[in-house]
Amino acid sequence: MSSEQTTDSSGPSGAGVGPWGLKLAGVGAALPPKVLTNDDLTAWMDTSDEWIRERTGIGERRLGGTTSGLATEAARAALEAAGTAPTDIEQVILATTSPDYMLPGTAPAVARELGIDCGAFDLQAACSGWVYGLVVANGLIAQGMKKILVIGAETLDRMTDYHDRGTGILFGNGAGAVVVERDESSQGQLLSWDLGSNGQHVHILYSEHDGKIQMDGREVFRQAVTVIQRSANAAMERAGLTVDDIDLIVPHQANIRIVEAAWKRLGFSMDKTEMVLEHTGNTSAASIPLALDNAINNGRIQPGSTVLFVGFGAGMTWASAIVRWS
Ligand code: ACO
């Protein structure tokens, strides 16, 4: 049985355009100060900077901090960029795979740190989590909410064995946050989205409670390229767009070779792609908002830009969303 036949659960997915608009009003990021370079890893691992860069595109990753602390720092920066007071936020959605505690969720602690008294919940969809969160926020805005924080934050160093050559080279910590607002002008829009999963692949990438990440790297690679292609195509089709209509792609920062292989199939150009992987490693749910922050700081997104987000990860899960920038 092929994984594409009976076990996929894509949808309901669709075009998100409504009478309301959606604006990504402010973006912020946070990285802990401790840097672990590829050369550092060679002190205890049989590897090299050259091998890791060539196979993954990663040069260094960050360690330390807490998920709530990094999420709060990124959220503060996003609120400042949006010119939004914390007390105007009506919902906090925190996408994470590495919460501070098994119980409770980490989002309420972030809300408390920000001085916000509103709904707050964690969302676990691994590396696709932040895009899932954006689509959920769009639904809440359709129901009348005006300002929502959608955060991706991870402390993957607690789940990573830095002596394991397969996983220790990949993962790091960080956070990215976005203030998502109802756009009364309707200029900004979530044009389309695609959410999916295939639980048949749970055991190609997983961690037990209090365990370390276990991964079948080759199978993750193979599945990731397939689902990225399918999900990005689905989102573009639903929005009535082609590759040429997309101004910038912000993919999950897992591995440069996964992105390049998927882009070859999709006809995307790396010139239109935001990558921060070299300096962050794979930060799971944090990686897309971290890259988005970099894109904005570098002036790569303008009003009217069409931006495609593509996430994929453990589960397997995948998520694409296309936003027209307000
Ligand atoms: N340094 C040096 N050599 C290594 C290392 C290392 N860190 N790891 C493996 N090797 C060697 C192996 O021993 C093997 O040597 P041999 O040919 O002499 O036997 C050779 O390199 C190839 O080993 P593979 O395990 O087949 O390595 P591969 O080319 O598959 O690369 C990697 C491993 C980088 C992990 C790759 O499989 C990969 O990138 N997979 C995707 C992983 C990923 O991105 N996961 C997260 C995505 S989803 C999410 O973000 C949650």
Residues within 6 Å of ligand 1 by CB = 47, 51, 55-56, 126-127, 165-166, 169-170, 205, 215, 217-218, 220-221, 224, 254-255, 258, 282, 284, 313-314
* Domain edge (last residue) among 131, 148, 183: 183
Question: Within this chain, do residues 237 and 177 fall inside the same structural domain, yes or no?
Answer: no
Distance of CA 80 to the CA centre of its chain: 21
Task: Return the pLDDT at 3.
Answer: 35
CB 303, CB 183: distance < 8 Å? no
> Which residue has tokens 């509103």?
118
In this predicted structure, what is the pLDDT of residue 182? 95
Task: Mark whether 164 and 312 lie in a shared domain.
Answer: no
Residue 13 lies in a domain: no
98 shares its domain with 146: yes
Domain count of the chain? 2
Would you state the pLDDT for residue 8? Answer: 41
* CA–CA distance, 131 with 151 (Å, rounded to integer): 10
Claim to verify: residue 128 and residue 154 sit in the same structural domain:
yes
pTM for the full model?
Answer: 0.94
Pocket test for ligand 1, best of 164, 255, 259, 280 (most atoms within 8 A of CB): 255
Mean pLDDT across the chain: 94
pLDDT of residue 18: 62
Give the pLDDT of residue 17. Answer: 58
Record the tokens describing residue 230, joined without a space: 């399918």
Predicted confidence (pLDDT) per residue in 128-183, tens digit: 999 999 999 999 999 999 999 999 999 999 999 999 999 999 999 999 999 999 99
Q: Which atom of ligand 1 is nearest to the CA of 221?
A: 41
In angstroms, the CA 21 to CA 304 distance is 13
Does 265 lie in the same domain as 124? no
Domain end point (choices 183, 201, 235): 183
Nearest CA to ligand 1 atom 3: 47
* Domain annotation covers residue 16: no
* One domain, residues 175 and 199: no
Q: What are 320's strand-pairing partners? A: 194, 310
H-only helix segments in the chain: 38-41, 49-56, 67-82, 107-114, 129-142, 217-239, 256-266, 277-280, 287-297
For residues 164 and 231, state if they share a domain. no
Residue 156 structure tokens: 């993957």
DSSP per-residue string spanning 72-101: HHHHHHHHHHHT--GGG--EEEEE-SS-S-
Res 101: pLDDT: 97
**At a CB cut-off of 8 Å and minimum separation 6, what does 309 contact?**
130, 131, 134, 249, 250, 251, 288, 292, 319, 320, 321, 322, 323
| Assigned domain for 11 exists | no
pLDDT digits (tens, 9 = 90+) for 209-237: 999 999 999 999 999 999 999 999 999 99
| 155 in any annotated domain | yes
- 175 Cα to the center of ligand 1, angstroms: 25
- In the annotation, is 201 catalytic? no
* Domain end call among 142, 158, 183: 183
Find residue 237's DSSP bridge partners: none
118 included as an active-site residue? no
Residues 153 and 193 placed together within one structural domain of the fold:
no
What is the Cα–Cα distance from 5 to 14, expressed in whole angstroms?
Answer: 20
Is residue 252 annotated as part of the catalytic site, yes or no?
Answer: yes
Q: If we measure between CA atoms, which residue out of 307, 283, 277 comes closest to residue 177?
A: 283
Task: Tell me how far the alpha carbon of residue 241 lies from the centroid of ligand 1, in angstroms.
Answer: 35
Check which CATH number belongs to the domain holding 106 and give it. 3.40.47.10
Q: What is the β-pairing status of strands 173-183 and 147-155?
A: antiparallel
Q: Give the chain's residues under pLDDT 70.
A: 1-19
What is the domain extent for residue 115?
A: 21-183
How confident is the model at residue 14, as a pLDDT?
Answer: 62
Q: What is the pLDDT of residue 184?
A: 87
Residue with tokens 């990124």: 74
Same domain for 177 and 211:
no
CA of 234 relative to ligand 1 center, distance in Å: 30
d(CA 3, CA 7): 6
Tell me, what's the pLDDT at 185?
Answer: 85
CA-to-CA distance for 128 and 174, rounded, in angstroms? 15
Residue 15 is predicted with a pLDDT of 62
